[in-house]
Structure 1
Amino acid sequence: MTWLRSLKATARSGLKVERRRLEPLVALRGAVGLGAVVGVSLAAFGPAVAVSSAFGAFQAAVATFQRSWRPRPTLALASGVSLAVSTFLGYLTAAHLVLFLALLTVWTFLAGLAWVAGPTAGVIASSNVAIMLVTVTLPTSVAAAAGHALVIAAGGLVQAALIVAVPLRRWGPHRDALAGALAAEADYARRLRRDPYAPFDPVPLMTARSAAAVTRRQARRRPAELHGARGLAERIRPVLASLADPAVGAPREGPQRERVRELLDAAGAVLDAAADAIRHGRAAALPPAALAALRTPDTGAVLTGPARRAAVRLAALLEDVVETTRPSGRAEPGEARARPPLVSLVPVAVRDARRELRPDSPVFRHAVRVAAVVAIGYVLGTALPFGHGYWAPIAAVMAMRPDFTQTYARSVARFCGTLLGVALATAVVRLAVPGTYTSAALAVGCAFGMFLLMRTGYAAAQVCVSAYVVFLLGMGGETWDQTVPERVLLTLLGGVLAMLAYAVYPAWETPRLRGRLADWLAADGRYAAGVLAHYADPAAPRGTGVRDAVLATRTARVAWQEAHARAAHEPVRHRGLSHAAADAAEEALAQLGRVTMLLEAHLPDRDAAPLPAAAALAEGVRRATERGARDIRERRVPRWEEIAVPDDAGVPDPVVRHGVRLLREALESLSDALEES
């Protein structure tokens, strides 16, 4: 993709407004907390302290809207405390330009490295740098700076206390994650009726698994219906696929296929009902027609072999899912996953950040870029005759992300949102000339709009943020002509610096696509080898080997998909893997994972007879995929002679026989895709 087309694509994505479910009560709670902090501070200490407290309460509320499974009060407190420390340290050096610039550069570099701990940590750290640039201009002494830091921390404390006192959908995100997984499987079941080879995106299951990890305190309070349904959903997916697949399930046409379609339709209806029940915390309203279809006694007479086994398992699993949605539903043993306390993750984050200190790391390159841009932006903003030069580095640090697409999209969105927000706020200020308390009320109203719209798109939220800052600084005594014109120009400067930095010192995904593809192939190979090994020795303890392989496969697949999506918008030429070849390779590896899932769905019972030939097949798949991954990284086309297609005499089990044949076909499709790249 050329630079011009890439810029057009990223600009459109940055200005896009998505239709998302709004949560006005949650937004109102954050705005009420902000209003309470500002009102008390304004009445007791005056406008300067009120501005600091507003930044603390605002940032704490923003932190609670991030996509994190940690308790929201914890996020508010962490945001308030970290922001207080940042602003206090900034003030200690603010009187000395060189010293402050050194602190700003180091602090911004560390904020860039914070992305290794996840998007929530990265957003909070970046916001701390941005707000520090503003708040350090407010105090007049070290004691005053300490006071401002305390009220900033108090703003976070108030937001945390308000979340505890007014719990709105306390388990809402966790319910949504689990309901989303069940709804995705319901949709999968219906698609399998029409296409027995329909793909399944594992992201909803991965999201539900992440949401299932809770702290000890959360584990004691978690509703019963959030305990066991996720584990059941994991087991339902391969059963659905095996029931629909013509190779190991029912034939393509005939009475068996019609019965399978009926069962898949009923499964979709039951799963949808269970998802709705979990999302809203009520008993499932099960469709009578679906229950009748699942309980029809002629299933055993119509279906035979693997298809009959899959139908029986499906009915039992769906019954268990429905049971978990009832108020007295039982929890599945071993479902709870522990989430460590936030403080205990600090050494883990430090260790992960140290591993990223290498030139080829995207996180390290982002940290270097953002630190350089913020330092240069601050120097240029200070040197230019506009005043309030901190707007340039603020725009840069809030727009920059570790990948190209988000950085460019957010730079465009931030400038456009700033232009519109500042224009609207300026019109209000010039026409109404609001006083201190009126400006405070307008700022709180803009914050409410930001909390309400922040998940619909960055540009929409930025309009509210820009107006919020104008009214907030107006409350502190700065007139509109001191804040508006220079902010627009310096915001443009910050955005341009962010874009130039990525062009000069990029971290492109396109050259790394082959490595991502190789990682996915290797993970798929370990998964397939682990499943085949259990056919060779059904009595062996299954442990967590196959389960870990499934999770590794999903992680590698999502990493590939995210990298592929980012690479599609990058203005660089491919290096040995064209877009068409990448699409075909993705389809081949998705097929490889689907076939392995079919084999897993029919794993023999522990008392079943061993299948000795499966051990050699497992070893052949493992060696071939490991070698194939090396070939992909070294830009060679892999071959699969080590995977022998079994015959009826060597492998009497039809599931294994068909499964290995399909595995070989998927791998050969991968080689065909790479040959055409």
Structure 2
Amino acid sequence: MSWPKALKDSVRTGMSVERTGLEPLAALRSAVGLALVIGAGLAFLGPGAAASSAFGAFMAAIAAFQQSWRPRPVLALASGLTLAGSTFVGYLVGAANLAAFLVLLAAWTFLAGLLWAAGPTAGIIASGNVAIMLVTVTLPTSVPQAAGHAAMIAAGGVVQAALIVLFPIRRWGAQRDALAGALAAEADYARRLREDPLAPFDAQPLMTARDAAAVTPRQARRRPAELHGARGLAERIRPVLASLADPVVGAPAAGPARERVRELLAAAGSVLDAAAHAIRHGEPVRLPAPDLAVLKSPDNPDLLHGAPLRAAHRLAALLDDVLETAEPGSGRTAAPGESRLRPTLPALVPGVLRAVRAELRPGSPVLRHAVRVTAAASAGYLIGRALPFGHAYWAPMAAVMVMRPDFSQTYARAVARFCGTLAGVAVATAVVQLAQPGMYLSGLLAVVSAGLMYALLRTGYAVAQAFVSAYVVFLLGMGGTRWDQTVPDRVALTLVGGLLAMVSYALYPAWETPRLRTRLADWLAADGRYAAAVLRQYADPAGARRADVREALLAARDARIAWQEALARAEGEPVRHRGLSRAAADGAAEALVGLGRSAMLLEAHLPDRAHPPVPGAAELARALRTATEAGARAVRERRVPEWDAVRVLLANPGPDARPDPGPAAAPGARVLRGAAAQLLTSLDEVSAALRP
């Protein structure tokens, strides 16, 4: 993509408005919390303290709106308390001299940039705290006042956290939506399999549900019963659906058996949809009787037999469990030992330190982001002080808030912030000119602006920024600051900060495009480890660890998601990968999806521990693991991977493994041969896609 097209796409993305579900009650709760702290501050402590507490409550509410599975009160407290500490330390250092404050600003900004290694929520909260610190350190005039302002900021965070606890809105709603989304995705998958037995499945909803299922020990004691257990069933249903529909290891592609499979898949879709609706809304499961009858009716041995019959019985049993689990519980909750536990914030610190330490290496995108944002913030502060506008903090504040570790978001947010600022200050200025609001009316207008921002936060950055700009104009107006003392400064310095952010990325980029081959190789190796782990279960049903399959599957899903995210970021970058065309990337990705699907089919028919080992499985597992690791190295080195060892093994299975197992063969032998041939076909398709 050329630079002009990349910039055009960035402008379009930044100015887009998305139609998304609003959270008016949560926005109202946050606005009420902001109104309480502003009103108390104005009534008892004056406009300066009210502004400080308002910033604390404002940022705490934004933190609570982030897409995180951690409890919302914890996010609000973490934001308010860290902002209070940053403000107090910033004032103490800034009161000494400019050089010391610049050093502190650089250190704080660099640390905030590195915290993106711990996830986007930590990065957003840290970046917001640095940006707001630049404003709040200018409010107090003495050390006792600085301590008072810091206390008011912390109080704002405490108020927001307390309101979330006292007035919960749709408790466990995010977790319900995640689990319901996973079940609904599998329902859609079952219906698509009726028409296309090889239909792909994106495991992202399952991974989202897995993340949502991790709870703190306190949450584990209060989690509703219907949110415990259904996710594990969903994980087990997906391979059964695929194996039932597959024309190689399941029912034939045409005939009465295929029609029976289509009926079962349609009924499974209805059951999963009904369970998803019940979990999402906390209601009893309502299932049409015909669909339930299809699953309950005994199978005709003349239609299904062997592996398809076993898959049909297993699907019916799993769906029965789903229906039972999805019913609203009667107060029963899962024991903490049965849950995936999420560490508390203090226990999270060692993991965050390890993640940050892992990014302190040359070429790390997170490290490059930290360096860029530090340089832009420091340069913006110096430029702001040199320009004759005043309010020097606007430029570094804009730079810190718009910068992200990837190109597209940084440029889109820079454009959106400037345009949103123009719109917001224009409307706020018109209101101020017409209404001439006093202190309390200015506070009310600030609360209304913030409430609208909370309500529309997820519709687009430009929309949210327009209300933020109006909020700041009204908030500063509480202290008697005239609009003409802030609006021109803010518009000009916001433009400076946005330009600094864009220039810094262009001068010191972290392009995702050149790393696409590495991401693809990681996915290939992860799929190979998953397939090898499944094959080892066939080689040693009694002794192999079943947990190895689960761990390998999760690693393969993570690698696939990393590839998808990298590809999405690369699409908006103004660089070209000279060793991997878009067609080659799409073809290789489609082949790897098929590779993972073949391994999943094998997993759906794992032999019981009492069954004897399947001949040839151990050799195939070793050959596949070795070949995919060598193939991953070839992909990284821009070579075409070869699969001769796997091909030779399948063509000459050895004395103990018959190439065409008969009906009397051990359970899994015929499935193994069919799925293994599909594995090789997928590997050949990877090579074909990457061949010049």
TM-score range, shorter chain: over 0.9
Percent of residue pairs bearing the same amino acid type: 68
TM-score by length of structure 2 reads: 0.96
- AA at the equivalent of 2:59: Q
Matched, 1:459 2:462: yes
Q: Please state whether the residue corresponding to 1:513 is helix, strand or coil.
A: helix
Cα distance in 1, alignment partners of residues 415 and 23 from structure 2: 26
What's the counterpart of residue 601 of structure 1? 604
Residue 149 of structure 1 is matched in structure 2 by: 150
- DSSP-derived class of the 2:481 partner: coil
Aligned-partner residue type, residue 47 of structure 1: P
Work out whether 1:199 is the aligned partner of 2:200: yes
Q: Distance in 2 between matches of 1:380 and 1:211?
A: 44
Contact 1:109 1:368 in 2 (8 A): yes
Q: Equivalent residues in 2 for 1:350-365 (5 A)?
A: 350-365=353-368
Which residue in 2 is equivalent to 1:655? 671
Match of 2:16 in 1: 16
What CA RMSD, in Å, does the superposition of the two structures yield over aligned residues?
A: 1.4
Q: Answer yes or no: is the 8 Å Cα contact 2:38–2:50 preserved in 1.
A: yes
- Report the more deviating stretch, 414-423 or 361-370: 414-423
2: CA distance, partners of 1:358 / 1:530: 32
Q: Superposed, which structure 2 residues align to 1:45-444 within 5 Å? A: 45-95=45-95, 96-328=97-329, 335-444=338-447
Provide the secondary structure at the position in 2 that maps to 1:297: coil
Shift of 1:5: 0.7
Range that drifts further, 166-175 or 227-236: 166-175
> Aligned-pair distance for 1:598?
0.6
- Name 2:665's counterpart in structure 1: none
Displacement after TM superposition at 1:297 (Å) = 2.1
CA distance in 1, matches of 2:618, 2:224: 43
Contact 1:407–1:499 at 8 Å: present in 2 too? yes
Q: Secondary structure at the match of 1:406?
A: helix
* Paired position in structure 1 for 2:666: none
> Quick one: distance in 1 between partners of 2:22 and 2:300?
44
Deviation at 1:650, TM superposition (A): 4.0
Quote how far apart the aligned CAs of 1:575 are. 3.2
Q: Does residue 1:587 correspond to 2:585, yes or no?
A: no
Is the 8 Å Cα contact of residues 519 and 629 (structure 1) preserved in structure 2?
A: yes
**Equivalent position amino acid for 1:54 in 2:** A
Aligned with 1:449: secondary structure?
A: helix
| Cα distance, 1:318 vs structure 2 | 0.6
Matches within 5 A, 1:496-575: 496-575=499-578
Show the counterpart of 1:474: 477
Are positions 1:490 and 2:506 aligned together? no
2:650 is aligned to 645
2:621 to 618, 623, 626: 618
Cα separation, partners in 2 of 1:230 and 1:331, compared to 1, 3 Å: farther
Residues 543, 244 of structure 1: CA spacing in aligned structure 2 closer, same or farther, 3 A cutoff?
Answer: closer
In 2, are the aligned partners of 1:613 and 1:651 still within 8 Å (CA)?
A: no
| CA displacement at 1:11 relative to structure 2 | 1.6
Aligned to 1:37: 37
Q: Whole-Å Cα distance in 2 between the matches of residues 198 and 299 of structure 1?
A: 26
SS at match of 1:649: coil
TM-score, normalised by the number of residues in structure 1: 0.98
Compute the displacement of 1:327 (Å): 3.1
Question: In 1, Cα distance between the equivalents of 2:392 and 2:112?
Answer: 21
Letter in 2 for 1:174: Q
**Alignment match, 1:671:** 687
Structure 1 residue 335, shift from structure 2 partner? 4.8
Residue 541 of structure 1 deviates from its aligned partner by 4.2
1:119-158, Cα deviation, whole Å (9 max, x unpaired): 1110010001110111111101010000000000000101
Alpha-carbon contact 1:514-1:577 (below 8 Å) kept: yes
Larger deviation, residues 520-529 vs 478-487: 478-487
Q: Which moved more, 1:452-461 or 1:218-227?
A: 452-461
The answer on whether the counterparts of 1:175 and 1:226 sit within 8 Å (CA) in structure 2 is yes
Equivalent position amino acid for 1:176 in 2? D
Deviations 1:230-250 (A, max 9, x none): 000000010111111111111
Could you list the runs of 5+ residues in structure 2 that have no partner in the other structure? 662-668
Task: State whether residues 222 and 333 of structure 2, in contact with CA within 8 Å, keep that contact through their aligned partners in structure 1.
Answer: no
Cα distance in 1, alignment partners of residues 378 and 202 from structure 2: 42
Distance in 2 between residues matched to 1:328 and 1:422, nearest whole Å: 51
| In 2: Cα distance, 1:127 partner to 1:365 partner | 19
Q: More deviation in 251-260 or 591-600? A: 251-260
Q: Contact conserved, 1:47 with 1:475, CA < 8 A, in 2?
A: yes
Offset at residue 478 of structure 1 (A) = 1.1
Counterpart of 2:561, as a letter, is V
SS of the counterpart of 1:168? coil
Residue identity opposite 1:13 in structure 2: T
**What does the per-residue CA deviation read over 1:79-122, in whole Å, with 9 as the maximum and x for residues that have no partner?**
11100011111111223111111110111000000101111110
Displacement after TM superposition at 1:458 (Å) = 1.2
Note if contact 1:443-1:468 (Cα within 8 Å) is conserved in structure 2.
Answer: yes
Give the total of aligned pairs.
676
- Name the CA distance, whole Å, in 2 between partners of 1:328 and 1:43: 47
User: Residues of 1 paired with 2:541 and 2:358: CA distance?
Assistant: 40
CA distance in 1, matches of 2:485, 2:348: 43
Q: Distance in 2 between matches of 1:10 and 1:527?
A: 38
Find the aligned partners of 1:313 and 1:512 in 2 and give their Cα distance.
Answer: 42
- Describe the SS at the equivalent of 2:486: helix
- Cα separation, 2, equivalents of 1:479 and 1:97: 27
Distance in structure 2 (CA, Å) of the matches to 1:443 and 1:194: 55
SS of aligned partner of 2:345: coil
Return the alpha-carbon distance in structure 1 between the equivalents of residues 549 and 630 of structure 2: 21
Between the aligned partners of 1:272 and 1:514, the Cα distance in structure 2 is 38
More deviation, 451-460/79-88: 451-460
Give the deviation of 1:9 after TM superposition.
Answer: 1.3
Q: Compare 293-302 and 260-269 and name the one that shifted more.
A: 293-302
Distance 1:217 1:300, change over 3 A: farther
Paired amino acid for 1:51: A
1:331 to partner: Cα distance: 7.5
Could you tell which deviates more after superposition, 281-290 or 225-234? 281-290
